[in-house]
């Protein structure tokens, strides 16, 4: 059975940038939010209407779903199974998503990635989030930091230390994947 790495962290922690350096087989979530500049449908998220999201939910096709910052996110079972049939995979979700996935797929490894508050704030501004969005997303920071104790691993992503953070995550993935073959 292939390993699933479940990555969480507050907005602006660098989750997507770091994980895409470590692994390429990403379970892509659906979202009702609009794409940010540079984001690609089907790669960053599968952008869908609220109606389509409700339809997937009603049909029981979502293994994980959450409302965050006024938008809905979710992962459908087909996407999940397709990616894991290919090999080891990763998914980026929030704390509630991690709990839902862990119930559905207990074999997963959970990692929490974080940065200091001011660094996260700056990162959201730099990627083009509006001030309103940054304020809204930053308001969850204290609670998300409390939730980090529920993860298998906690990794700090320091400003200017992208390569070091990538190496730490790579070694976690290597260790967890090699455990598979030693069981």
* Strand pairing category for 46-47 and 30-31: parallel
Longest pairwise C-alpha distance within the chain: 49
The reported pLDDT for the residue numbered 174 is 93
Structure confidence at residue 181 as a pLDDT band (50, 70, 90):
low
The reported pLDDT for the residue numbered 140 is 84
Q: Domain boundaries in the chain?
A: 4-182
> What is the number of other CB atoms lying within 10 angstroms of the CB of residue 177?
16
Write b or e for each residue in 135-170: b if 16 or more Cβ atoms lie within 10 A of its Cβ, otherwise e: eebbebbeebeebbeebebebebeeeeeeebbebbe
Tokens of 103: 């119930």
Structure confidence at residue 180 as a pLDDT band (50, 70, 90):
low
Which residues, at least 6 apart from 58, have a Cβ–Cβ distance to it below 8 Å? none
Residue 101 in contact with residue 37, Cβ under 8 Å? no
Q: Is the pLDDT of residue 3 over 90?
A: yes
pLDDT tens-place string over residues 107-149: 899 999 998 888 888 888 888 778 888 888 888 888 888 999 9
Mean pLDDT of all residues in the chain?
90
CATH superfamily placement of domain 4-182 = P-loop containing nucleotide triphosphate hydrolases (3.40.50.300)
Percent of the chain residues past pLDDT 90, beyond the cut? 63
Which residues, at least 6 apart from 72, have a Cβ–Cβ distance to it below 8 Å? 30, 31, 32, 50, 53, 65, 66
Lowest average pLDDT, out of 59-63, 91-95, 123-127, 151-155, goes to 123-127
Run of H or E residues at 74: strand 71-76
Q: Is the pLDDT of residue 182 over 60?
A: no
Lowest average pLDDT, out of 39-48, 128-137, 150-159, goes to 128-137
């Amino acid at each position: 059975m292939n390993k699933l790495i479940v990555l969480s962290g507050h907005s602006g922690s660098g989750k997507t940038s770091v994980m895409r350096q470590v692994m390429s087989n990403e379970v892509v979530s659906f979202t009702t939010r609009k794409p940010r500049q540079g984001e690609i449908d089907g790669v960053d998220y599968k952008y869908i209407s609220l109606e389509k999201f409700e339809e997937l939910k009603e049909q029981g096709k979502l293994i994980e779903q959450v409302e965050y910052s006024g938008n809905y996110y979710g992962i459908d079972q087909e996407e999940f199974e397709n990616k894991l049939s290919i090999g080891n995979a990763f998914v980026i979700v929030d704390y509630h998503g991690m709990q839902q996935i862990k119930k559905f797929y207990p074999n997963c490894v959970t990692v929490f990635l974080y940065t200091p508050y001011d660094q996260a704030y700056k990162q959201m501004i730099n990627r083009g989030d509006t001030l309103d969005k940054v304020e809204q997303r930053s308001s969850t920071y204290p609670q998300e930091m409390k939730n980090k104790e529920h993860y298998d691993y906690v990794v700090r992503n320091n400003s200017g230390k992208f390569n070091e953070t990538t190496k730490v995550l790579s070694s976690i993935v290597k260790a967890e994947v090699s455990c598979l073959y030693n069981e």
